[in-house]
Chain A
Amino acid sequence: MNRKEFLSDCSRMGFAGIALSLFPWLESCTEKAQQELSGERARIGIIGTGSRGLFHVQHLLQMPNVDVVALCDNYRPHLEDAAQYYPDAKLYDDYRRLLDDKNVQGVIITTPLYLHGRMTLDALSAGKRVFCEKSMAFTLDEALEVYNRRKELGGVLLIGQQRLFDPKYIKAMQMIHQGVIGDVVGVRNYWYRNNNWRREVPSPELERHINWRLYSEYSRGLMTELACHQLQNGSWAMGMLPEQVMGSGHLVHWTNEDERDVYDTVSAIFTYPNGVNMTFESIISNKHYGMGEQILGTKGTIDLVTAMHYTDEPAPKGSGMDQLIAQIESGIMSNSVFAGTSWAAETATLAPGIPIMPNVKVVSGESSVGAEADGSKELLEAFIHAVITGKQPEKVLEESYYATQFALLADMAMHENKILRLDDKYKVPYQPLKMR
């Protein structure tokens, strides 16, 4: 999706005119914001040019106002992969040298989790504007340190929580905040895959370098790699943060592949102050249900992944024609049940879900690199805009911060087999993303 399509979707959703007051972090997506740039360009360095780094490269290549001037990776093959796209970029094998490069205005950090915090701190200190992949940091303390450093220096920091920039999530949350599904009484998240989560390793000594996700020395496993994306759903929908978390995690199936010590099976329950639970479950030895994110309300349900709205109070319909009209208005097609022997006004039809917006591209969650049309590109555009203007988008950092903290806290709860609450020292000012 390009900006024009994004804005067109926003417009069709009916909130283009009020977008800025409702979604201040999307300011960079507006035409006005783009005009502000008036031909200016962002000079970017990429730290970490593995699969996720290259995923971002594909989007950067489509952006006219970006010059990638520096690339860094301590694994040469990955560095050379990225250099093919940017033959004029300076190449580094030490990120600190890239940070010394005065020509670099902003950095994109796509490295293993255990490096996120340190590299972000160093980059902020070097005066760079920073985009770092989620999760924000490896520990609770480190995440807080990053948050405070950004605040202290007043720089730009965006974390790779792309759902905040995905039009279908934005539309869904707006509907939820308007009360379309009544009171939120539950939030369900799950992410199932059936693969060993391994990357090919050219030689054994590179095992941990390449498959860092599998080792607790570098990674918090499924909670930081997958859950972190979904945990913001509850906070975004309800405008509050969880009060406590409990969970259970085990290495159940992939026990003979390698020396891994992160869980391949996790379940966590996050309880909010009003008693509502948000669940997260991930199993990577069964993929039948794929990825799911559902907000359950007293009047209905919104499936965030498929962008469908299911009502608990279906209105009786004379025929499927209304449904058909809604489909065409939304730019989709599915069957309509209306043919039968004769028309009767009281004939009830199925209460199928109604798409909340047109042209939804459903992301399966199978790829561990990234997916198209999931907000990643818009998020990156917002970062490029922030690099040029120096303006930190509102509210999103806190949302990313808490997603990381609760992912880490849940992982701790599993390891300690305890119900945990986030200590007050980790609490930073939180303004709910309410969009009435």
Chain B
Amino acid sequence: MALEFRYSDKNPSHPISFIAFQAMHTRIEILLTGVEQSVGRKLAATIEQEVKSMERRFNCHDERSPLSVINLRAAGEAVEVGDDMFMALELCEAFRRTTAGCFDISTDTAVAGQCSYLLDAKRHTVRFQREGVRLDMGGFAKGYALERVRQIIADAGVETALMNFGNSSVASIGHHPYGEWWAVGVEHTLERGQMACEVHLRSSAMSVSGRSTDGRYHIINPSTGGTVAAEELILVEGRSALIAEVLSTALYAAPKTLRADIMSRYEGYKATEIYCRKGGGVELREIGNK
């Protein structure tokens, strides 16, 4: 899908730039208000370029990507990586530790409590702990890219924006021009088009994990290697789009008994289990911070 850019000044007080493109196996939509058309158009090109660049770097299915090089060689040798990749791997390891292993970019069955790769900060290298390790950074990359896009937009001086990465990850700058927040409805899983709950974003982000809208279970349980078959949705809200993304994935994969423990490490983030019932009913259970 080609880059889509639309500009509307129907409301002269709040002209809108709308940007959409396909990347990271999803549709990315960005709405900016209060910028001139030329600025919006330029941002559209910059953002698409940046996201696609990240997609290339973190795509384990592209054999030319830096991540594929790691997957191919790191079991046998320490592979030197760029700053960006090194920092990403550091972050992923921090997330693994702080989510009781429930967020893990290793796609093999992890050894409990252990990281599957070693990082050497001096040499900027990564080496796998054993044969058969393969890293998939898809879950990380989307949140990371969203965070990066938010930064690009903020650096351009935009004060009002909403970024939607495939409906499951949404981040905002400022608030709706006619409200105190951006109101985003989370869709009911059984009654399409109905709203299960509403999230208010104000310079904050949200992420939702659960079954795909086509009914597939796709989140991997790091401890078993199989897909997680939970029926509830996990909604996480907080300042960072990346952390919200990581937490929603980790909490969905985590046993229910572990979820509150995980959340206790993330001050300022709110997580909610959403149980959708037939006929449109909804039960919301907040996962408590200790």
Contact = CB atoms under 8 A, between A and B. Distances in A.
Real binding pair: yes
Interface of A: 12, 318-321, 324-325, 327-345, 347-351, 358
B185 A343 contact: no
A339 B206 contact: yes
26 contacts: A321-B29, A321-B162, A325-B6, A328-B14, A328-B16, A328-B31, A329-B8, A329-B10, A331-B178, A335-B183, A335-B184, A335-B195, A337-B193, A337-B195, A338-B187, A339-B164, A339-B186, A339-B199, A339-B208, A340-B168, A341-B210, A342-B26, A342-B213, A343-B166, A344-B213, A349-B187
Nearest to B200: A335
Given A325-B18, A333-B178, A333-B183, A343 B199 contact: no
Contacts of B185: 320, 335-339
Nearest to B27: A343
A241 B11 CA distance: 37
B33 A339 contact: no
Nearest to B12: A12
Interface in B72-102: none
Contact of B213 (A324, A327, A329, A347): A347
A318 B33 contact: no
Nearest to B185: A337
Given A335-B198, A338-B167, A329 B16 contact: yes
Interface of B: 6, 8, 10-11, 13-14, 16, 18, 20, 26-27, 29, 31, 33, 162, 164, 166-168, 170, 176-179, 183-187, 189, 192-195, 198-199, 206, 208-214, 218, 233
Contacts of A340: 167-168, 186-187, 189, 208, 213, 233
B167 A342 contact: yes
A378 to B, nearest CB: 22
Residue of B162, B189, B218 ringed by the most chain A CB atoms within 10 A:
B162
A338 B31 CA distance: 14
Contacts of B33: 328
Residue of A320, A333, A338, A341 ringed by the most chain B CB atoms within 10 A:
A341
A337 B164 CA distance: 12
B57 to A, nearest CB: 22
A341 B209 contact: yes
- The B contact surface, by secondary structure, is strand
B122 to A, nearest CB: 40
A348 B192 contact: yes
B285 to A, nearest CB: 17
A338 B233 CA distance: 14
Contacts of B170: 338-339
A138 B20 CA distance: 62
Residue of A328, A331, A348 ringed by the most chain B CB atoms within 10 A:
A328
Contact of A351 (B168, B183, B193): B193
A264 to B, nearest CB: 38
Nearest to A359: B178
Contacts of B164: 319, 321, 338-339
Smallest CB-CB A-B distances: 9 pairs: A337-B185, A333-B179, A335-B183, A343-B166, A333-B178, A340-B187, A329-B10, A341-B210, A343-B167
Contact of A12 (B10, B198, B211, B218): B10
Given A318-B27, A341-B213, A351-B193, A336 B184 contact: yes
B268 to A, nearest CB: 20
A332 B178 contact: yes
Contacts of A331: 11, 13-14, 178
Nearest to B162: A324
B213 A350 contact: no
Contacts of A342: 26, 166-168, 212-213, 218
Nearest to A351: B193
Nearest to B197: A339
B149 to A, nearest CB: 15
Given A328-B16, A328-B176, A329-B8, A341 B189 contact: yes
Given A328-B176, A341-B213, A344-B214, A350 B18 contact: no
Contact of B168 (A328, A336, A343, A358): A343
Contacts of A337: 185-187, 193-195
A267 to B, nearest CB: 33
Contacts of B166: 342-343
Contacts of A347: 167, 187, 192, 213
